[in-house]
Amino acid sequence: MTRTSLTLIRHGETDWNRAKRIQGHTDIPLSEEGVRQAGQLGARIAHDVATHGSVFDRVLSSDLMRAAQTAEPVARACGLTVECTERLRERSYGVFETLVVDEIKAQHAEAYAHWQSRDPDFVIPGGESLTGFYTRVTAYADFLVRHYQGLRVALVAHGGVLDCFYRLATNLALSEPRTYPLLNASVNRLEFDGTSWHVRSWGDVSHLAAGGRDESNDRSDGAAHGQSFAPLATPADRVDPRVV
């Protein structure tokens, strides 16, 4: 049975992450800390290549700057080029983008309340519903296993994209709260066995000097969207029973 290996990587930190400002499709570069994180990630991959030989066959990325900048050191360490696509962009947050949560509450009170209800079919004005976003990401997952079958793929994207892949692999409903980390510059390993996706390890930030920042820390609405988590740092060759 042909297996496809997928290493999901969340982009490094941005200034808007730290300010808890909604990014979505807004094209924000990495902060100085994010550039450092990307460099540490690249150094880890370079070490793996030097120790074990080739580790990835392709490096894919969202076309948004924060993801592409994170992908570059990974691709460089492997002697590859980054293949960017808009299909891996974060969820579009429409009128919420550029705002912090207090501003969303004040300017879009009704939409904010609906957003907090975790209704997967709620369409943020000017943006995407969670269902629509999930459909976009899982359609790309189907494309990936058709076109990159049997390959080792690194995919650099966003917290929301990683969340969709995790839910796909674990059959976790969109209406269910998140109980797993989505850390900046983290390494998260999935495998497709020809029939279904499986989580092999999750939340590894052992290469970062100061750990990682969880996606929920980018907002102050943690009750509905998750909370701060410690990294799991699971070795790549061991299945963590907490996440499978």
90 is catalytic: yes
- Residue 70: closest CA among 31, 26, 30, 33: 30
Q: Lowest mean pLDDT: which of 64-78, 164-178, 227-241?
A: 227-241
Mean pLDDT of 178-205: 97
To the query of whether residue 11 is one of the catalytic residues in this protein, the response is: yes
Kindly name the residue from 32, 72, 86, 90 that is annotated as catalytic. 90
CATH architecture of 4-225: 3-Layer(aba) Sandwich (3.40)
Structure letter (DSSP) for residue 208: -
Q: Is the pLDDT of residue 237 over 70?
A: no
Give burial (CB, 10 Å; 0-12/13-18/19+) of 138. Answer: middle
Tokens (6 digits) for 189: 């390993």
Per residue in 119-134, pLDDT tens? 999 999 999 999 999 9
Contact 212/183 with Cβ under 8 angstroms? yes
* Residues in the annotated binding site for substrate: 10-17, 66, 90-93
Q: Is the dihedral of CA 103, 104, 110, 114 positive or negative?
A: negative
- Per-chain mean pLDDT for the chain: 89
pLDDT greater than 90 at residue 60: yes
Over 60: is that where the pLDDT of 75 sits? yes
Average pLDDT over residues 157-180: 97
The domains of the chain are located at 4-225
pTM of the model: 0.87
